[in-house]
Amino acid sequence: MTREEFEELRKSAKTIEDNIEYHRYDQDSKVWTFTGVRVINHLGYTVKLNGAYDPRTRYIKFNFVLVGVGKKQGGAICRVEVRGKVHPGAGRTHKQCVKEGTCMRRNLPYAVQALEFDSYGIRQVWETICTRANIDHTGTFFEPPEAGRK
């Protein structure tokens, strides 16, 4: 995917009809995740969304993947990480997206700071992403049970 194709997809109207529900892999897992949420678009791309939340650090991740490109499960085309691992030059809270054709194979190497998300809770991060990416989420967003704890 080129930067131009990414921008066309980002700006186009998209819908997520599915509910977003976080689950743990097993009872010992501390991290809550969801996978495989379909992002409907009219450009013919198969896009899925996955995410993670770690209540110990209040880490939040939303990752959009273009299915059938890049790695086995698809190539990431956009990612928002809040309070995650430090990304060189962008810090712990940052956004990554396609800048050039090789980005998906290289796991989105370019990042920019997104400090506006640093004080946000998980729902506010999600709603901001939807607004900025022109996504109409018609399903329900279920916060992880521990998301309200600080």
Residue 150 belongs to a domain:
no
Q: What local confidence, expressed as pLDDT, does residue 70 receive?
A: 58
Residue 84 belongs to a domain:
yes
Task: Write out the residue range of the structural domain in which residue 32 sits.
Answer: 3-135
Residue 144 belongs to a domain:
no
Q: What local confidence, expressed as pLDDT, does residue 125 receive?
A: 96
Look up residue 124 and give its two tokens.
């506010």
pLDDT tens, position by position, 70-118: 555 567 888 899 998 888 888 888 788 777 666 666 667 677 888 899 9
- Phi/psi for 29 (5° steps) reads -70, 140
Q: For the chain, how big is the Rg over CA atoms in Å?
A: 15
Q: What local confidence, expressed as pLDDT, does residue 144 receive?
A: 92
Q: Is the pLDDT of residue 38 over 90?
A: yes
Residue 122 belongs to a domain:
yes
Q: Which of 75, 19, 82, 15 is nearest to 52 (CA)?
A: 82
Residue 149 belongs to a domain:
no
Q: Is the pLDDT of residue 31 over 80?
A: yes
Task: Give the burial string for 28-62 (b: 16+ CB within 10 Å, else e).
Answer: eeebbbbeebebbbeeebebbbbbbbbbeebbbbb
Residue 38 belongs to a domain:
yes
Q: Is the pLDDT of residue 69 over 70?
A: no
Q: Which of 18, 19, 2 is nearest to 10 (CA)?
A: 2
Kindly state the average pLDDT of the residues 6-22. Answer: 93
Residue 18 belongs to a domain:
yes
> How far apart are the C-alpha atoms of 69 and 92, rounded to whole Å?
27
pLDDT band at 62 (very low <50, low <70, confident <90, very high): very high
Residue 147 belongs to a domain:
no
Number of domains into which the chain is organized: 1
Q: What local confidence, expressed as pLDDT, does residue 74 receive?
A: 64
